[in-house]
Amino acid sequence: MKFFIDTANLNDIQEAYDLGVLDGVTTNPSLMAKEGISGHDNVIAHYKAICDIVDDNVSAEVIATDFEGMIKEGKELAQIDDKIVVKVPMIKDGVKAIKHFTSEGIRTNCTLVFSAGQAILAAKAGASYVSPFIGRLDDIGYDGLELIEQIVQIYDNYGYATEVLAASVRHTMHLIQCAEIGADVATCPLKVITSLLNHPLTDKGLEQFLADHAKANG
DSSP secondary structure letters along 70-119: HHHHHHHHHTT-TTEEEEEESSHHHHHHHHHHHHTT--EEEEEE-SHHHH
Phi, psi (deg, nearest 5) at residue 55 = -85, -30
Question: Can you tell me whether residue 39 is helix, strand or coil?
Answer: coil
Q: Using CA atoms in the order 149, 129, 132, 24, what is the torsion angle rounded to 10 degrees? A: 100
- Out of 87, 96, 99, 215, the active site residue is 87
- Is residue 124 within 8 A of residue 98, CB to CB? The reply is no
Strand partners, 28: none
Instruction: State the distance between the two ends of the chain, measured CA to CA, in whole angstroms.
Output: 45
87 carries an active-site annotation: yes
Q: With beta carbons less than 8 A apart as the criterion, state whether 5 and 16 touch.
A: yes
Question: 5 forms bridges with which residues in the sheet?
Answer: 25, 188
Rounded CA separation 142/200 (Å): 32
Active-site residues, by number, are 87
